[in-house]
Chain A
Amino acid sequence: MKIIKLVMLSVAILFVIFAQNNLDPYTVSILNNMAIFGILALSYNLINGVAGQFSLEPNGFVAIGAYVTALLILPASSKIDMFALEDPAPIILAMHTSFFPALLMSGIVAAVLAFILSIPVFRVRGDYLAIVTLGFGFIIRIFAMNQTKYTNGAMGLNDIPGNANLLWTGGIIIVTFIVMLNVIYSKYGRAMKAVRDDEDAATAMGINTFWIKTYAFMTSAFFEGVGGGLMASLLTTISPDQFTFLLTFQLLIIIVLGGLGSMSGTLIGAVLVMGGTEWLRFLDQNMDIFGYNTGAHPGLRMVVFSILLIIMMLFARKGIFGSSELTDIFKRGKQ
Chain B
Amino acid sequence: MILELKNITMQFGGVTAIDNLNFGVKSGEIYGLIGPNGAGKTTLFNIVTGNYIQTKGTVIFNHEELSGVKPNEIVLKGIARTFQNIRLFKSMSVLENVLIGFHHQANYTYIESIFRLPRHFSNEKKIKKEAMVILEKFGIADLADTNSSSLSYGNQRKVEIARALATNPRLLLLDEPAAGMNPSETEDLSNIIKKIKTEFGLTILLIEHDMKFVNNMCDKVLVLDYGEQIFEGKPSDAIVDEKVVAAYLGDFEHA
Contacts and interface: CB of A to CB of B under 8 A. Distances in A.
Direct contact of A and B (CB under 8 A): yes
Interface of A: 179, 182-183, 186-191, 193-194, 196-198, 200-209, 215, 219, 261, 323, 335
Contact of A190 (B49, B71, B100): B100
A194 B114 CA distance: 19
Contact of A187 (B89, B90, B108): B108
Nearest to B109: A188
A193 B92 contact: yes
Interface residues of B, number: 39
Contacts of A194: 89, 92, 100
A204 B124 contact: no
A207 B72 contact: yes
B81 interface: yes
A42 to B, nearest CB: 14
B101 A205 contact: yes
Interface string B84-122: 000111111000100111111010101001111000100
Contacts of A335: 145
Contacts of A209: 72
Contact of B72 (A183, A186, A189, A206): A206
Contacts of A200: 51, 87
Contacts of A179: 114
A203 B163 contact: no
B75 A205 contact: yes
B111 to A, nearest CB: 10
B103 A191 contact: yes
A206 B89 contact: no
Interface string B10-40: 0000000000000000000000000000000
Contact of A203 (B72, B96, B123, B145): B72
Q: Which A-B residue pairs are the 6 nearest by beta carbons?
A: A206-B75, A186-B113, A197-B89, A201-B87, A187-B106, A203-B71
Interface string B105-149: 010101001111000100110010000000000000000010000
Interface of B: 49, 51, 71-73, 75-76, 80-81, 83, 87-92, 96, 99-104, 106, 108, 110, 113-116, 120, 123-124, 127, 145, 163-164, 166-167
A205 B103 contact: yes
Nearest to A209: B72
B62 to A, nearest CB: 16
Contacts of A208: 72
11 contacts: A186-B120, A187-B99, A190-B92, A190-B103, A197-B88, A200-B51, A202-B100, A203-B71, A204-B80, A205-B166, A208-B72
Contacts of B106: 187
Nearest to B71: A203
A203 B121 CA distance: 25
A204 B75 contact: yes
B113 A183 contact: yes
A204 B92 contact: no
A215 B91 contact: no
Contact of B89 (A183, A186, A198, A203): A198
B87 A205 contact: no
B75 A197 contact: no
A205 B120 contact: no
A107 B50 CA distance: 37
Contacts of B71: 203-204
A206 B113 contact: no
B136 to A, nearest CB: 20
Nearest to B76: A206
Contacts of A198: 87-90
Contacts of B101: 205-206
Given A194-B100, A207-B100, 4 more contacts: A186-B120, A197-B92, A205-B80, A206-B75
Instruction: Give the one of B88, B90, B113 with max A CB within 10 A.
Output: B113
B76 to A, nearest CB: 5
Nearest to B49: A204
A190 B99 CA distance: 8
A201 B86 CA distance: 10
A2 to B, nearest CB: 12
B104 A206 contact: yes
Nearest to A215: B110
B239 to A, nearest CB: 32
Contacts of A193: 89, 91-92, 96
A203 B51 CA distance: 10
B110 A191 contact: no
A287 B80 CA distance: 65
A204 B87 CA distance: 10
Contact of B96 (A190, A201, A204, A207): A190
A201 B89 contact: yes
Nearest to A200: B87
B167 to A, nearest CB: 5
Nearest to B77: A206
A209 B100 CA distance: 12
A302 B63 CA distance: 62
A208 B163 CA distance: 16
Contact of B103 (A182, A187, A197): A187
Contact of A204 (B81, B108, B123): B81
B115 A188 contact: no
A219 B111 CA distance: 11
